[in-house]
Structure 1
Amino acid sequence: MKNPVAALAVLCALLLANSAPAQEVTVYTSASFAPLMLADGRGMYPDLIDYLNERKLGTFTFRLRYMPRKRLQVKLEDGSIDGMVIGMMPEWFDDVEQKKYLWSVPFATDRYALVSLAAKPVSPDAPAGLVGASVGITRGYHYPGIDAWLDSSRMLRSEGPSDEKNLEKLLLGRLDCVVVAESMARYFMRANGMTARLHLVTLASAPTERRMLAPRSQAAAFDKVAPVLKKLKNDPAWQRIVATYQ
């Protein structure tokens, strides 16, 4: 470069860019079940956080942290949340118009399923068989698209701490059926060799979406993450990761 002043300016800019301190952003999840979160620390969500960090999104780095659903919702509502939240959908936070929070596009979709014992199957297509049946649901969860069906079914709701615990209660004969995310149920059945023992029916409802949510105070980090999430479905590298959990 012929102009030494210009060359010095470029060098200084590069040094400043390289010396900018990393900003760690906490990404919260209330999920505690496979395949999103596995007991050994792996799972789709940890893998997605690793994927984001590998992309070197400016000065941001991301770490995943679990927080119970009720506490997470309270901190979002009172504005004290100090990071982003993974795996949520606007309907769960009364934000269908997406004005309260920043929302990414869905990076994954799922559906609800009704799981029962194969020896004693429960079918949503046989309403008479639902009346009085005990159905496991997860405490604190909302089920957009099927809440009305649950009410009209006249099943007896039994709240449990997690989908996995509800499935364990089903296997012990303490529940007649369980409402659960289909991806979780299929992973549980395959990982535990329960495919022949459990009966799964996908419920007729709109797909549930997994998005990244951010309070507006996290707009700078969100603006780095959102474009990456938008391209996930077309990224072979990410699809290979997803395939390991299917």
Structure 2
Amino acid sequence: MIINPTLAAEELVFYTYHDKPPYYFNQRQSWGPVNQKSTQLNPNNRHTGLYQAFINLLNTHQQQWKITLKYIPRKRLDLHLKAGTLDGAVIGVNPTWFKDKQQTRFHWSQPFLWDVDVVAVRSGNRFPYQHPNDLTDKKLALPRGYYFWGVTENIDQGRQWAIEASSELQNLKLVAANRVDATILSAKTLQYYEQRIFRPGTFQALATPHDEYSRAVMFPNLNATRYKSLHQHIDTLGSSEEWQHIKQQIMGEEPALLEPR
């Protein structure tokens, strides 16, 4: 009898705490119209987000593991990492976010995504920005539980006013309503909402990015063996033309979101 290798594969969970498009689509969220625009997101988009698409590609190129995607809040993730009980890997993360710049605490793949965080304002409300200190006299809306270099430190020191909303979409609503001056988010997330939810031209990303970084897959020490068996597949596919084509299918052409320098 021939055994289908897919059926024989052991399940391996890739976790994410990025509950936002275009990375991961949480079907529990209700996506209503914004700014009187009736566009509604496809509830099945979770299966075509960037993380799920990369996992689908990875599953077609190896049969040892059946990889699935699962959401986990960042605080819960940190507790598991501290206790050494996270049975899986974390997708779409950067060593800096886990105090592992030297990549000695955990096992890291090569990057499969390159990204940039931008300071987004309502169009017409632009202001000079070169450094997080330039935001200290501005009202910010930020996603709850995320770290933003320079800004988080200023908030902790009482030098920065900010509110934490449940999602990037809520933060953009606050910017659009002029209740805050700006928000910080991924350029890809801003692009996604600009194209599908808000009216064209609602927002402008300031010329200087807040941060530029890569996204990789991180394996805790508990899963060192799985890392050894998978990281070459991840590294190869992350720079492949096949993956570049899939990203373009999901995101389309990436417009110039930043204003001219």
Short-chain TM bin: 0.7 to 0.9
Q: Are positions 1:31 and 2:18 aligned together?
A: yes
**What amino acid maps onto 1:175 in structure 2?**
V
Which one of the candidate residues 194, 210, 214 is aligned to 1:209?
A: 214
CA displacement at 1:181 relative to structure 2: 1.2
CA contact (8 A) 2:93 2:217 kept: yes
Q: Are positions 1:239 and 2:218 aligned together?
A: no
CA contact (8 A) 1:127 1:153 kept: no
CA displacement at 1:97 relative to structure 2: 1.4
State the secondary structure of the residue aligned to 1:96.
coil
2:197: which partner in 1? 192
Q: Structure 1 CA distance, aligned partners of 2:53 and 2:66? A: 14
State the secondary structure of the residue aligned to 1:217.
helix
1:133: which partner in 2? 138
| Runs (5+) with no aligned partner, structure 1 | 1-14
Counterparts in 2 of 1:178 and 1:119: CA distance versus 1, 3 Å: same
CA displacement at 1:219 relative to structure 2: 2.0
State the secondary structure of the residue aligned to 1:189.
helix
1:163: which partner in 2? 168
Instruction: Tell me the percent identity.
Output: 24
Q: Structure 2 CA distance, aligned partners of 1:37 and 1:199? A: 24
| Runs (5+) with no aligned partner, structure 2 | 26-42, 255-261
State the secondary structure of the residue aligned to 2:174.
helix
CA displacement at 1:128 relative to structure 2: 10
Q: Are positions 1:81 and 2:81 aligned together?
A: no
Larger mean CA deviation between 193-202 and 234-243 belongs to 193-202
Q: Structure 2 CA distance, aligned partners of 1:210 and 1:79? A: 22
CA contact (8 A) 1:111 1:203 kept: no
Tell me the number of residue pairs that the alignment of Structure 1 and Structure 2 aligns. Answer: 232
**What amino acid maps onto 1:200 in structure 2?**
A
CA contact (8 A) 1:182 1:202 kept: no
CA displacement at 1:205 relative to structure 2: 5.4
Counterparts in 2 of 1:198 and 1:145: CA distance versus 1, 3 Å: same
CA contact (8 A) 1:112 1:181 kept: yes
CA displacement at 1:220 relative to structure 2: 2.5
CA contact (8 A) 2:143 2:165 kept: yes
Which one of the candidate residues 43, 60, 69 is aligned to 2:49?
A: 43
Q: Structure 1 CA distance, aligned partners of 2:130 and 2:14? A: 40
Q: Structure 2 CA distance, aligned partners of 1:154 and 1:109? A: 31
Counterparts in 2 of 1:186 and 1:89: CA distance versus 1, 3 Å: same
Q: Structure 1 CA distance, aligned partners of 2:203 and 2:158? A: 21
CA displacement at 1:174 relative to structure 2: 2.3
CA displacement at 1:224 relative to structure 2: 2.9
1:55: which partner in 2? 61
Counterparts in 2 of 1:138 and 1:203: CA distance versus 1, 3 Å: farther
1:228: which partner in 2? 233
State the secondary structure of the residue aligned to 1:241.
helix
What RMSD, in angstroms, separates the aligned Cα atoms of the two structures? 3.0
State the secondary structure of the residue aligned to 2:206.
strand
TM norm structure 2: 0.77
**What amino acid maps onto 1:215 in structure 2?**
P
